[in-house]
């Protein structure tokens, strides 16, 4: 049969009281320790059964004793179970004077007819040590983390900096490479141009040179005065052939200069009407039989501020094409108009025209249309004209129909 523990005798309660790991102390109204279990003795470092010779204030740090007497009296007047020292750290004093952290709860009990305060005491030294160690390692951790963060930040900054330097370096190298490439490409083009020119020139030079040769040998045969007219005719042939050679060389020199970027703009103020009329005058020598250049403009003066030499060259090229690619007796019309801050020049011929399918190549270097193959030319003129017009920030267009004629339109800023 099971024992009834409700009737357990005093010895059993004492056994439980002694077995308790918390220190238990009973204190009377005057502050004397009346009872203390084994754990209380161990915690405060007293010998067995020694504590009842002491007062409760002997377990309290010197500086708090006075207040404690006051608090104790207050607690006796209004005894309610509570924890001691809420919100602050409690310290106990061992017999040898060593201070140590404690946790204490208070209660009251009547013992032998008198009210006593019962204190339950736990030594929390170990817990505090662990807490402190934890706190320290936490602080250490925070320190490490912040150091790490700082290093990461520094490294990132270094990297960003290095990266920027690298990027700059790459950009510089790239630019240099590109420039070298452009220069190389330019040189290659120039070389190609030169070699094409040499082969083209040796072909193109042959006709005027053989004309010069045959005319010269004929002149040497016409030595009497009867043949004066014949001599003049051949001298003129020689002159015009030399003119041809000269214009081929001029074309080439202009192009080479343009390609090498050696053509500088020289701006001057000049009267465009005068320039056109002068150029027409010079071109009269190369016109075919019956060809006539018509040009009229209401005003006698139109001042431009740009490169006169380039404007003249554009005119010469376009007029020489107009005469070259149209038949004897066909006129050439030049129209001039002013619009806003631009002049618009039209050079119109009634010649062979340019086949529609070939028109898109017109400004390409060395381009010559199929229907012009038997007429002397290098295919450089319009390529140069286009470059000149671009240099002057102008614009060139054309309209052409085979067997009807061609009109070039050049717009140039005044
Ligand atoms: N007014 C024109 N009428 C018909 N065809 C033309 C006219 N102008 C140019 N072309 C065509 O365009 C080609 C290129 O003209 P471009 O002036 O560049 O060279 P080119 O006259 O052949 O030689 P050059 O270098 O002596 O001027 C000509 O060969 C010709 O086929
Ligand atoms: Mg030409």
- Could you tell me if 143 and 268 lie in one domain? no
- Give, using CA atoms, the residue closest to atom 26 of ligand 1: 377
Percent of the chain with pLDDT over 90: 60
Alpha-carbon separation of residue 365 from 24, 292, 339, 394 (angstroms): 115, 29, 31, 19
- Could you tell me if 389 and 354 lie in one domain? yes
Predicted pLDDT of residue 152: 94
Range of the domain at 395: 264-413
Cβ(237)–Cβ(207) below 8 Å? no
The answer to whether position 2 is within a domain reads no
User: Given 100, 123, 146, which residue is the final one in a domain?
Assistant: 123
- Give yes or no for residue 396 CB within 6 A of ligand 1: no
- Could you tell me if 381 and 303 lie in one domain? yes
Predicted pLDDT of residue 398: 97
The answer to whether position 289 is within a domain reads yes
Distance 405 CA to ligand 1 centre (A): 13
User: Given 236, 263, 290, which residue is the final one in a domain?
Assistant: 263
Higher local confidence (pLDDT), 405 or 237: 405
**311 Cβ partners below 8 Å, 6+ apart?**
272, 275, 304, 392, 412
- Could you tell me if 271 and 408 lie in one domain? yes
Q: pLDDT tens digit string along 12-32?
A: 888 999 999 999 999 998 999
- Could you tell me if 280 and 405 lie in one domain? yes
- Give yes or no for residue 349 CB within 6 A of ligand 1: yes
For residue 105, give the CATH number of its domain. Answer: 3.30.450.20
Q: pLDDT tens digit string along 116-129?
A: 999 999 999 999 99
Predicted pLDDT of residue 294: 96
Q: Is 254 left (phi over 0), alpha (psi -120 to 50) or beta?
A: alpha
Predicted pLDDT of residue 272: 95
Predicted pLDDT of residue 1: 55
Distance 39 CA to ligand 1 centre (A): 122
- Give yes or no for residue 406 CB within 6 A of ligand 1: yes
The answer to whether position 207 is within a domain reads yes
For residue 249, give the CATH number of its domain. Answer: 1.10.287.130
Predicted pLDDT of residue 163: 93
Percent of the chain with pLDDT over 70: 96
For residue 327, give the CATH number of its domain. Answer: 3.30.565.10
Domain count, the chain: 3
Is the pLDDT at 264 greater than 90? The verdict is no
Higher local confidence (pLDDT), 273 or 193: 273
- Could you tell me if 133 and 115 lie in one domain? no
With cut-offs at 50, 70 and 90, classify the pLDDT of residue 76. Answer: confident
**413 Cβ partners below 8 Å, 6+ apart?**
306, 341, 342, 392, 393, 394
- Could you tell me if 274 and 404 lie in one domain? yes
Instruction: List strands edge to edge, sheet with 332-339.
Output: 293-295, 332-339, 342-349, 405-413, 395-401
Distance 368 CA to ligand 2 centre (A): 9
- Could you tell me if 258 and 166 lie in one domain? yes
- Give yes or no for residue 254 CB within 6 A of ligand 1: no
Residue 181: is it exposed, middle or buried by C-beta count within 10 angstroms (0-12/13-18/19+)?
exposed
- Give yes or no for residue 352 CB within 6 A of ligand 1: yes
- Give yes or no for residue 92 CB within 6 A of ligand 1: no
Distance 379 CA to ligand 1 centre (A): 6
pTM to 2 decimals? 0.55
CA distance 196 to 185: 16
Predicted pLDDT of residue 5: 61
Predicted pLDDT of residue 3: 60
Q: pLDDT tens digit string along 339-378?
A: 889 999 999 999 999 999 999 999 998 899 999 988 988 8
- Could you tell me if 254 and 268 lie in one domain? no
Distance 254 CA to ligand 2 centre (A): 13
Distance 339 CA to ligand 1 centre (A): 28
Residues 156-171, mean pLDDT to the nearest whole number: 94
Q: Which ligand is nearest to the CA of 348?
A: 1
Distance 394 CA to ligand 1 centre (A): 20
Distance 396 CA to ligand 1 centre (A): 15
- The residue to mutate among 200, 243, 250, 325, having the most atoms of ligand 1 within 8 angstroms of its beta carbon, is 325
The answer to whether position 57 is within a domain reads yes
- Give, using CA atoms, the residue closest to atom 21 of ligand 1: 377
- Give yes or no for residue 244 CB within 6 A of ligand 1: no
Distance 311 CA to ligand 2 centre (A): 15
- Give yes or no for residue 251 CB within 6 A of ligand 1: yes
The answer to whether position 1 is within a domain reads no
The answer to whether position 153 is within a domain reads yes
Cβ(65)–Cβ(55) below 8 Å? no
Is the pLDDT at 136 greater than 90? The verdict is yes
Predicted pLDDT of residue 400: 97
- Give, using CA atoms, the residue closest to atom 19 of ligand 1: 379
- Could you tell me if 148 and 228 lie in one domain? yes
Q: pLDDT tens digit string along 26-68?
A: 999 899 999 999 999 999 999 999 999 999 999 999 988 888 8
- Could you tell me if 226 and 140 lie in one domain? yes
- Could you tell me if 255 and 314 lie in one domain? no
- The residue to mutate among 382, 408, 410, having the most atoms of ligand 1 within 8 angstroms of its beta carbon, is 382
- Give yes or no for residue 380 CB within 6 A of ligand 1: yes
- Give yes or no for residue 382 CB within 6 A of ligand 1: yes
Mean pLDDT over all residues of the chain?
A: 89
- Closest listed residue to residue 84, CA positions, set 56, 46, 50: 56
User: Given 232, 263, 294, which residue is the final one in a domain?
Assistant: 263
Nearest atom (ligand 1) to Cα of 382: 18
- Give yes or no for residue 197 CB within 6 A of ligand 1: no
Distance 330 CA to ligand 1 centre (A): 17
CA distance 191 to 193: 5
């Amino acid at each position: 049969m099971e024992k009834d523990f409700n009737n357990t005798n005093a010895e059993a309660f004492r056994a439980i009281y002694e077995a308790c790991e918390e220190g238990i102390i009973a204190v009377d109204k005057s502050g004397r320790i009346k009872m203390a279990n084994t754990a209380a003795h161990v915690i405060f470092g007293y010998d067995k059964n020694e504590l009842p010779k002491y007062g409760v204030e002997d377990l309290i740090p010197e500086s708090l004793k006075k207040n404690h007497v006051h608090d104790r009296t207050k607690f006796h007047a209004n005894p309610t179970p509570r924890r001691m020292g809420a919100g602050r750290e409690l310290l106990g004093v061992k017999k040898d004077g060593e201070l140590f952290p404690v946790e204490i709860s208070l209660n009251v009990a009547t013992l032998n007819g008198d009210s006593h305060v019962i204190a339950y005491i736990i030594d929390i030294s170990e817990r505090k040590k662990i807490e402190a160690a934890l706190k320290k390692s936490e602080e250490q951790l925070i320190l490490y983390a912040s150091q790490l963060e700082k290093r990461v930040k520094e490294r990132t900054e270094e990297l960003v900096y290095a990266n920027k330097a690298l990027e700059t370096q790459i950009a510089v190298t790239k630019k240099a490479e590109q420039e070298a490439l452009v220069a190389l490409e330019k040189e290659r083009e120039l070389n190609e141009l030169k070699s094409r020119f040499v082969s083209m020139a040796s072909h193109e030079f042959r006709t005027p040179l053989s004309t010069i040769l045959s005319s010269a040998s004929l002149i040497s045969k016409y030595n009497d005065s009867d043949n004066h007219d014949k001599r003049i005719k051949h001298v003129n042939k020689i002159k015009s052939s030399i003119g041809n050679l000269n214009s081929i060389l001029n074309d080439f020199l202009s192009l080479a200069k343009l390609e090498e970027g050696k053509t500088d703009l020289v701006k001057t103020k000049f009267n465009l009407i005068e320039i056109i009329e002068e150029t027409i005058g010079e071109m009269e020598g190369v016109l075919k039989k019956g060809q006539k250049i018509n040009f009229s403009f209401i005003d006698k003066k139109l001042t431009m501020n740009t490169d006169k030499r380039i404007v003249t060259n554009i005119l010469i090229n376009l007029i020489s094409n107009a005469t070259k690619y149209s038949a004897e007796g066909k006129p050439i019309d030049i129209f001039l108009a002013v619009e806003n801050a631009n002049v618009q020049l039209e050079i119109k011929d009634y010649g062979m025209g340019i086949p529609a399918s070939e028109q898109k190549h017109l400004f390409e270097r060395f381009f010559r249309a199929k229907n012009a193959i038997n007429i002397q030319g290098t295919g450089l003129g319009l390529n140069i004209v286009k470059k000149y017009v671009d240099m002057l920030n102008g614009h060139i267009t054309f309209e052409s129909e085979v067997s009807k004629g061609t009109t070039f339109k050049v717009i140039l800023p005044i």
